[in-house]
Amino acid sequence: DAGITQSPRHKVTETGTPVTLRCHQTENHRYMYWYRQDPGHGLRLIHYSYGVKDTDKGEVSDGYSVSRSKTEDFLLTLESATSSQTSVYFCAIGETGGKEKLFFGSGTQLSVL
């Protein structure tokens, strides 16, 4: 399996607090992605990165920011968590982007109360 580690695996937080999720890879892949998964919606892209300090928005980016200061780390930040951001968050990596296969992490279950 591809070397992808998401942390934390589970988190419970309160509305209005900041939350940061971390994705760490050991594969030296250029592309990294953050998805959220909710019942009935499949996986929806939040943000992605195509290199260090190079990021772009996905289809559901409102309320989220990302940073990538090193190839191996991609951080997802909820500046002020809301209950609608309760979800399972998946990180993915890809070597070349586009049609090349993605490798996914095990996910982070986030509950915002």
Partner 1 sequence: LAKTTQPISMDSYEGQEVNITCSHNNIATNDYITWYQQFPSQGPRFIIQGYKTKVTNEVASLFIPADRKSSTLSLPRVSLSDTAVYYCLVVRSNDYKLSFGAGTTVTVRA
Q: Which residues bind partner 1 (CB under 8 A)?
A: 31, 33, 35, 40-45, 48, 50, 56, 58-59, 90, 92, 94, 96-99, 101-107
Output 9 or 16, the one with its CB closest to partner 1. 9
Beta carbon of residue 65, minimum distance to partner 1 (angstroms, whole number)? 18
- The pair of three-digit structure tokens given for residue 22, joined into one six-digit string: 């971390």
Three-class SS state of 33: strand
Report in angstroms how near the CB of residue 33 gets to partner 1 at its nearest: 8
Structure tokens at 58: 């996905």
Q: 66-70 contacts: CB < 8 A, separation 24 or more?
A: 66/34, 68/32
Q: Rounded to an integer, what is the distance from CA 99 to the centroid of its chain?
A: 19
Asked if residue 21 lies in contact with residue 75, where contact means CB atoms within 8 angstroms, the answer is yes
Q: Report, in Å, the least distance between residue 42 CB and partner 1.
A: 4
Q: Nearer Cβ to partner 1, position 42 or 53?
A: 42
Q: How far is the CB of 81 from partner 1 (least distance, A)?
A: 22
State which residue, 14 or 100, has the beta carbon closest to partner 1: 100
Residue count (the chain): 113
